[in-house]
């Protein structure tokens, strides 16, 4: 079977370059202090839904002990996948489009408890970075941590993206089957995770693995972006709609969602 036969009309998205992400990386800097959250709209108080209750597939990565590179359940992790209703609805439309090629979204994480955010931001990530580079300390260490892990906060004006219920970590898989190859582990918080990591492949070091990762990252990117989502430039799996990062990356003046209220 040809690529076109396997992916149908979605094959064109696998061939479409993601493009230069320099502007997105610049726009992301300081987004939590720069972008206000609009509260005088119905979206701000929108309820959350469990993603699997509305037809999405997934398993919370942090509630498992089969989750490299951690290999342990994060204390305080939830096995639920809470999303704002409007975000879940948009994901449903992405899913319907992916289904035309026998694919579906697979969620790793959605709303995230503050304790989990704090553990990875305050403990795991800085310890791992310093284990590999003991000379990295202070502001430089914090900057590297926060390239991937947002600081937890109780401040309703600057919530971590995953505390809003508007951010989601996901991939694509054959419906009910194997994940597509994206070139790295989920949560490989190194430059290998950069969304554009495989956009400029060296012809002198060709591999089918890299070419497949390039095509699949493009497919996921365009499926999500064409439904209005914005993607973290340094994490191929992270997308959001309506939060402060989405506003910063989309050129919007305000965000729709602040801290989410999670059912007891």
Give catalytic residues, as residue numbers.
235
Contact 114, 159 (CB under 8 A): no
3-class SS letters over 135-160 = CCCHHHHHHHHCCCCCCCCCCCCCCC
Contact 87, 166 (CB under 8 A): yes
DSSP 188-219: --SGGG-TTTTSS--GGG--HHHHHHHHHHHH
217 to 6, 8, 41, 119, 184: CA distances (angstroms): 16, 17, 34, 28, 11
Angle, CA 87 vertex, CA 244 and CA 76 arms, to 5° = 75
Angle, CA 227 vertex, CA 221 and CA 229 arms, to 5° = 60
140 CA to centre of own chain: 24
DSSP assignment, residue 122?
A: I
């Amino acid at each position: 079977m040809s690529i076109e036969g396997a992916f149908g009309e979605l094959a064109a998205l696998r061939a479409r370059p993601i493009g230069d992400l320099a502007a997105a990386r610049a726009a992301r800097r300081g987004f939590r202090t720069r972008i206000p959250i609009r509260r005088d709209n119905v979206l701000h108080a929108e309820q959350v839904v469990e993603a699997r209750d509305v037809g999405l597939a997934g398993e919370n990565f942090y509630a498992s002990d089969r989750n490299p590179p951690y290999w342990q359940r994060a204390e305080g992790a939830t096995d639920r996948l809470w999303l704002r209703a409007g975000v879940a609805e948009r994901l449903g439309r992405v899913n319907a489009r992916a289904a035309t090629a026998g694919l579906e979204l697979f969620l790793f994480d959605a709303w995230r408890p503050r304790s989990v955010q704090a553990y990875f931001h305050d403990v795991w990530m800085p310890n791992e970075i310093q284990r590999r580079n003991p000379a990295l300390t202070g502001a430089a260490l914090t900057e590297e941590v926060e390239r991937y892990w947002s600081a937890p906060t109780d401040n309703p004006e600057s919530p971590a993206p995953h505390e809003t219920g508007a951010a989601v970590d996901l991939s694509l898989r054959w419906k009910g089957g194997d994940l597509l190859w994206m070139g790295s582990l989920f949560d490989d918080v190194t430059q290998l995770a950069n969304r554009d990591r495989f956009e400029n492949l060296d012809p002198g070091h060709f591999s089918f693995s890299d070419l497949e990762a390039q095509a699949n990252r493009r497919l996921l990117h365009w499926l999500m972006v064409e439904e209005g989502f914005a993607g973290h430039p340094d994490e191929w799996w992270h997308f959001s709609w309506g939060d402060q990062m989405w506003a910063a990356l989309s050129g919007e003046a305000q965000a729709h969602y602040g801290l989410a209220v999670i059912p007891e």
